[in-house]
Structure 1
Amino acid sequence: MLPAIISSADLRALNTFGISEQAERLILVENEVQLCQALAVAKQHDWPVTLLGGGSNMVLAGPLSGLVIGMRSRGRRVTARHSSSVIVEGEAGENWHQWVCWSLDHGFHGLENLSLIPGTLGAAPVQNIGAYGVELCDVFDSLDALDRTTGEIKQFDRQACRFAYRDSVFKQQPGRFVILRVRLRLSTQPIPTLDYAPLAAAWRNTGLQQPDSRVISQLVCQVRRSKLPDPAELGNAGSFFKNPLVAAEHAAALLGRWSDLPHYPQPDGSVKLAAGWLIEQAGWKGYCRGNVGVHRQQALVLVNYGGARGADVMALAGDIQRDVLARFGVELEMEPQLIGG
């Protein structure tokens, strides 16, 4: 049975930035059948459709016309066991951090560095989420998605997803695919990734000699909480800008002037720079303008102090982008998707 469609729904509680915008119509679906029914109703009435997961990687720039579909499907399972790994499958509406905790409770390893990332399992491949040296694509097996152009349910392996840094085919073709469920290949033995300096230091301070994924998860949560604001307390969409990739020559020129600029050479010869460092050096860290600002502890995070609109957030983001470009010759690209308006 199709759930009720809510008219003139306030989306403030459904996006982590806490931006109050209205959806002309909102429906929360709990399974694939309800999703297809909702899409059929939208097609019948010629309503545009917006898909909404956990609302953690978006900026609402205005009211949303048509039908907003919130994915609330649940379910977790082990689909295959191998000598040193398992395939685990989860429905798109699963909370990401709870999914990580479930995997650790079952003795599966590989997601601990991705602990406490807000959002849903279904949204994770869109952004190819990553943190502390691990990306989703590192443990990805496959997913099922509904192709709205054909009505077919397709299976995507890692290659078909076209994963890149904070990117995928689902982000490149917004609105075409609805991710239904995701499968990951996790290890049955600890495989710690401790390349990130603060995480490595926190691990050394434990004095533990044997790798422990649950402890690493707890440390990741501590590091994240020390640097990133809780969306439940201060509205935000996590890291607002991607770490930019620049040519090696450009990076060398910048390092000639700022030797402490964090930089990470890439396999293709480019160099990844720390966007947060660039923003902080430009003087934006802790900046406040009305109801929006840059977080006092992490320059990568824009925050809503209460009552901010999407236009306020985007105006501040644009000023930061222009300033960083003028100072360093580096273009910053925003991570969250701009929706509505």
Structure 2
Amino acid sequence: MDALIDTCCKLYQANQPMLILGGGSNIVLCEDFLGTVVLVETKGVDISEDENNHYLSVAAGENWHALVRFCLENGFSGLENMALIPGTVGAAPIQNIGAYGVELNRFCDWVEYADLNNAKLIRLSTEECEFGYRDSVFKNDLLGKTVITRVGFKLPKVWLPQLGYGPLREFDAKHVTAKQVFDCICETRRAKLPAPAQYGNAGSFFKNPLIDTKQFESLVSTYPGMVGYPHCEQQTKVAAGWLIDKAGLKGYQIGGAAVHTEQALVLINKDNATSADVLALAKSIVDKIENKFGIRLEVEPRMITATGERSL
């Protein structure tokens, strides 16, 4: 970890361009990056417990899915809904990863980072991380100023299954096991998401938009099958994949980039796509969904140019 902090601090303080990567699964490289790429590969999991919870302190470079599997193998339940999300543990808090009704902040106890100005280690509580839907303080006030070093997890010993999404609804909460949830999530994701070795992709390309519940209810009167989930009293989270599918865009292609035919949230490199193809396809989808439903989609992956990050 010392080498990671030292490298990042020296580059930052010298005002040298730097790209810190975990697994690199949530980016679109629009151009060759003209700077230093720092790959985080720190390892280690420390475990403790009290009467009610298991506590894990996990190095930022640990693989996320491997951590989920490790927890199940050791009787620590809670993270199974987030199985097979690509990337590393240190990247997980940045966008508050989540899937199938569970987000990281539900089980995150703290996040430790190094301040790149002075190499000082700082630990933030869950509240101080300002977690939101695919959002955190690391994408806002602390953007570009830190490198995450460790993440702490608090996993209750009394497990409460989260079965509100998709195929999980078929389980009986009184009899289901965490392993059954894990297996179901893995099977579902493998059926819908293409392997990167088959088709290059950055996973889910668009966030599920949050809209006013009154707007959602109005849209449902026009589109009775619209998929949405209550987010809070005033907002509903709409399934972006449903919107893209309903707009007839599965298989839609610009240049070598296409919408995956099995999962409309995924854009794939179907035939030697350029970054320009991917960005043009994404922008076209955003425009078509806004024209049809009055909802503007936001992209999920970071788009990296030669000198830094750009917007769509």
SS where residue 198 of structure 1 aligns? helix
Do structure 1's residue 316 and structure 2's residue 309 form an aligned pair? no
Deviations 1:4-27 (A, max 9, x none): xxxxxxxxxxxxxxxxxxxxxxxx
Maintained 8 Å contact 2:9/2:119: no
Q: Structure 1 residues 134, 75: closer, same or farther in 2, change over 3 A?
A: same
AA partner of residue 195 (structure 1)? G
1:160 alignment partner in structure 2: 128
Cα distance in 1 for partners of 2:86, 2:300 equals: 14
Match of 1:262 among 202, 227, 233: 227
Match of 1:195 among 160, 164, 188: 164
TM-aligned CA deviation for residue 276 of structure 1: 0.9
Cα distance in 2 for partners of 1:329, 1:316 equals: 19
Deviations 1:142-200 (A, max 9, x none): 02101223432110110111000111111224321210010101122432111113122
The alignment's TM-score, normalised by the length of structure 2, stands at: 0.92
Q: How does 1:79-94 map to 2 (within 5 A)?
A: 80-94=48-62
Cα distance in 2 for partners of 1:192, 1:221 equals: 16
Cα distance in 1 for partners of 2:287, 2:209 equals: 14
Deviations 1:267-302 (A, max 9, x none): 241122111111111111122233210000111111
Match of 1:294 among 224, 238, 259: 259
TM-aligned CA deviation for residue 96 of structure 1: 0.4
TM-aligned CA deviation for residue 82 of structure 1: 1.3
Q: How does 1:135-284 map to 2 (within 5 A)?
A: 135-172=103-140, 173-201=142-170, 203=171, 210-284=175-249
Cα distance in 1 for partners of 2:259, 2:223 equals: 22
Cα distance in 1 for partners of 2:15, 2:63 equals: 31
1:73 alignment partner in structure 2: 42
Maintained 8 Å contact 2:9/2:117: no
1:18 alignment partner in structure 2: none
TM-aligned CA deviation for residue 45 of structure 1: 5.5
TM-aligned CA deviation for residue 315 of structure 1: 0.9
TM-aligned CA deviation for residue 69 of structure 1: 0.4
Maintained 8 Å contact 2:26/2:300: yes
Q: Structure 1 residues 312, 166: closer, same or farther in 2, change over 3 A?
A: same
Do structure 1's residue 53 and structure 2's residue 22 form an aligned pair? yes
Do structure 1's residue 336 and structure 2's residue 301 form an aligned pair? yes
Q: Structure 1 residues 46, 164: closer, same or farther in 2, change over 3 A?
A: closer
Do structure 1's residue 106 and structure 2's residue 71 form an aligned pair? no
AA partner of residue 317 (structure 1)? A
Maintained 8 Å contact 1:115/1:220: yes
Maintained 8 Å contact 2:13/2:117: no
The alignment's TM-score, normalised by the length of structure 1, stands at: 0.85
TM-aligned CA deviation for residue 242 of structure 1: 0.7
Deviations 1:43-101 (A, max 9, x none): 575421110110111111111112110101111120x3111211111100100000111
Do structure 1's residue 122 and structure 2's residue 90 form an aligned pair? yes
Cα distance in 1 for partners of 2:211, 2:157 equals: 38
Identity of aligned residues (%): 42
AA partner of residue 161 (structure 1)? C
AA partner of residue 331 (structure 1)? R
For structure 2, the 5+ residue unaligned runs are 307-312
Q: Structure 1 residues 76, 331: closer, same or farther in 2, change over 3 A?
A: same
Cα distance in 1 for partners of 2:199, 2:168 equals: 24
AA partner of residue 201 (structure 2)? N
SS where residue 93 of structure 1 aligns? coil
AA partner of residue 73 (structure 2)? D
Q: Which moved more, 1:168-177 or 1:304-313?
A: 304-313
SS where residue 110 of structure 2 aligns? strand
Q: Structure 1 residues 276, 36: closer, same or farther in 2, change over 3 A?
A: same
SS where residue 333 of structure 1 aligns? coil
For structure 1, the 5+ residue unaligned runs are 1-31
Maintained 8 Å contact 2:26/2:302: yes
Maintained 8 Å contact 2:5/2:114: no
